[in-house]
Amino acid sequence: MKTVILFLAVLMVSMPVVSADEGWILWTHQMWSEKEIDRWTPTGSAESLDECRVAAELGLANAARKFTGTAKVVHVGLSLTMHFASGERASILAVCLPARLDPREAK
């Protein structure tokens, strides 16, 4: 049986100094070690941190509903972990970052 995973969970990070016209990007960090998935994906944008958080919270709630019945869903704060009957586990975080920051860039 194929398992289709649409990742969207949320962890909000507020940055202390952000230009009012900079905007915010909602990033999801998808992790599923058994499938060798560990990636950051931009999943939305907003003009304000509050708008970004609202979008992230809605996405997390929708993702939790989608997995109910196919996996044990653990929703803690703004993160989501799915435990599958196969023993596999997938996790998702989402982070609102100022548009100038990209979590994929090397430090």
The predicted structure's pLDDT at residue 22: 85
Spell out the residues 6+ positions from residue 90 whose beta carbon is closer than 8 angstroms to its own: 5, 7, 30, 31, 32, 35, 37, 71, 81, 82, 84
Q: Give the predicted TM-score (pTM) of the model.
A: 0.74
Using CA atoms, how far apart are residues 14 and 37, in angstroms rounded to an integer?
A: 26
The predicted structure's pLDDT at residue 75: 83
Contact 48, 56 (CB under 8 A): no
Average pLDDT rounded to a whole number, residues 34-59: 93
What are the residue ranges spanned by the domains of the chain?
A: 24-98
